[in-house]
Structure 1
Amino acid sequence: MLTSIIIALTFLSATTLLLSLLLVLAEKWILNYGPCDININTGQKVLTVNGGSSLLSALSENQIFIPSACGGRGSCAYCKVQVNKGGGPVSPIEAPYLSLEELENNTRLSCQIKVREDIDIHIPEELFKARRFKARVSTKTMLTYDIMELGLELIEPAEIDFTAGQYIQLESKEYKGRESVIRAYSLSSLPSDVNRAELIMRRVPEGICTTWAFDHLREEEEIFFSGPYGDFKLQDTDAPAIFIAGGSGMAPIWSILRHMKEQNIRKKAYYFFSGRIHDDLFFTDELFSLEKELYDFKYVPCLTREPQDSKWDGERERIPIVMPKYIPDASQYEAYLCGSSALIDACCSKLSQMGVQDDRMYFDKFE
């Protein structure tokens, strides 16, 4: 009896898989939608593609790379674009990831839109700069027990043009039965170092991409990534700045601070970095050296679980408690935050109490 049930379930699963495959093939090969135009940003670029594929895929095949980290399954919600014409109705997969405001502005998940007709879309201007890069792993450097700096020498294209604060999307390779995935990592390198890209990665337990990068990726191996993406960057104002980060959130701040030094940007700034214990700190000597090299800069590492009997003589409280000791009135400041949702939410709440306006808080939040 049990054997019959197992055979029946196996047959049902195989039949379902076969039907799904046939539907995909029918969509791609049997249903002929003919050539369709994708009009981007009111004629800035017009693509003519064969109908049937997803909007995300059609754009990627024409060297326009929209951020995506879930392989087109509609679960990351990174690939949002504004669809002003065509695209069909919003699907049940998209709906949970779109706010009322986004729905009113015709925002859609490009991976869930099938190109069956002419489509008019709008994408951020910086996405036209994004490219798919081939690179060689030049260095793997452990910065702490769970944070690594990954150095990449560019092969094709040989140069990258990015703004300090932006991120790329790294493509992992299959290993030990784990699928290839795409994950976002902020660039920690200097924009002036055009032939190289550096990332700061924190090991995520059971994380597919970080396990691959830490345990399987080797120096001299060739990999792929796309980018640059994002609008997290230093604003062109004279306002003093508060930088806040934790863990691998150091990456874009490290890029921005060194860019400020290189370009002699004279902006008063504080940098509050969160760690649990002293072993969570890295680039410590370099950051304290920046206090002498930047116009008016102070680095404040904050350790929340450092043993009381240690030799640490710095701050031992959470950043929201520490900040007012250094900045009693922050009403003239801008704030730049990168890290976990919990860190950013807590710090933004405190910054509001300290007088920082909501529209002067810029953050890159790790979900």
Structure 2
Amino acid sequence: MILFTSKIIDIEPCKKNISKVILEKPNNFEYFAGQYCFLGAHANDTAFRPYSIASAPHEDVLIFHVKDVKEASSLSSFLCDKKNIGKTIHVKQAEGDMTFPREFDLNHHYLFLCAGVGLSPIWSILKNLAFRNELDAKISIYWGMNSEDEFYEQELLALLEKFKNCNLTVCAERFDNNKVSYSRQKGLVGDAATRDFEDLNDMSVFIAGPTPMVQHTLEALSLKDLEEINIYCDYKFLLNDFSYKNKAV
């Protein structure tokens, strides 16, 4: 696998233990919106870790939303520490299958389900659609978090206003009392989405987040009339645990 060398340009703390980590975009580094790549602090490091890319391919930097796990030896803590601005980071070539079709159908509905920093690849896809001026896409986003005060990407709301048919629902256990421009539902994103949409047959579903969230969401979706080919996520192996219409082999 190709290994690129980059440098940390900036680290922007967001909410709680989440930071935006901005890297130089290496020459000839290519990716599709929605993909991820492995990062490492040392070229010979065995502890490379996967991070979804939050920037869009047209941008001249690489952006990652990183949750600091607060362990001194962890790469996430290294990436979130402002003392490391200017240090070298090694980047493996991008991979992943959760990419948006190059051409979209105006009659199709695109459902994005994410939790926590699982917003990252969806953020990339949305920015890429806006850059391509494909603002007519019918999009529904469900973003899960423990508490609404974990809503860390305020720029998301401004971006969504550019789209003509795009709705955001925040799913959490605890909500603030302030007025918001998006919908709220208590509970998990998979449960909320399957309550709101009886028929998922005309949808493409994108799923990003921690493994337990993805697994629960796939289980909820398996109860609907949804073809496996219309599910986009980087945990395809989990699909084997559930039964879907026209299951791929």
SS of equivalent residue, structure 2 residue 93: strand
User: Is 1:302 aligned to 2:171, yes or no?
Assistant: yes
Q: How many residues of Structure 1 are paired with residues of Structure 2 in the alignment?
A: 227
Mapping of residues 217-296 of structure 1, within 5 Å: 218-235=84-101, 236-238=103-105, 239-265=108-134, 266-284=136-154, 286-296=155-165
For 1:347, give the aligned amino acid: T
The match for 1:356 among 212, 217, 226 is 226
* Matched-pair contact (CA < 8 Å) for 1:137–1:222: yes
Relative contact order higher in (CA < 8 Å, ≥ 6 apart): 2
Q: 1:293 and 1:347, CA in 2 relative to 1: closer, same or farther beyond 3 A?
A: same
Structure 2 portions without partners, runs of 5+ = 239-249
RMSD of aligned residue pairs (Cα, Å): 2.5
For 1:224, give the aligned amino acid: H
* Matched-pair contact (CA < 8 Å) for 1:172–1:180: no
For 1:192, give the aligned amino acid: H
For 1:183, give the aligned amino acid: R
Mapping of residues 191-230 of structure 1, within 5 Å: 191-193=57-59, 195-206=60-71, 208-215=74-81, 218-230=84-96
Structure 1 portions without partners, runs of 5+ = 1-64, 66-130
The match for 2:177 among 293, 311, 329 is 311
* Matched-pair contact (CA < 8 Å) for 2:35–2:99: yes
Using the TM superposition, give the Cα deviation of residue 182 of structure 1 relative to its aligned residue in structure 2, in angstroms: 0.8
The match for 1:164 among 30, 33, 36 is 33
Of the structure 1 ranges 209-218 and 137-146, higher mean CA displacement relative to structure 2 is found in 209-218
For 1:288, give the aligned amino acid: L
**Aligned match of 1:136:** 7
For 2:8, give the aligned amino acid: V
For 2:115, give the aligned amino acid: G
For 2:22, give the aligned amino acid: G
User: Is 1:323 aligned to 2:189, yes or no?
Assistant: no
Q: Which has the higher helix share?
A: 1
* Matched-pair contact (CA < 8 Å) for 2:21–2:80: no
**Aligned match of 2:244:** none
* Matched-pair contact (CA < 8 Å) for 1:159–1:196: no
For normalisation by structure 1, the TM-score amounts to 0.57
Using the TM superposition, give the Cα deviation of residue 249 of structure 1 relative to its aligned residue in structure 2, in angstroms: 0.9
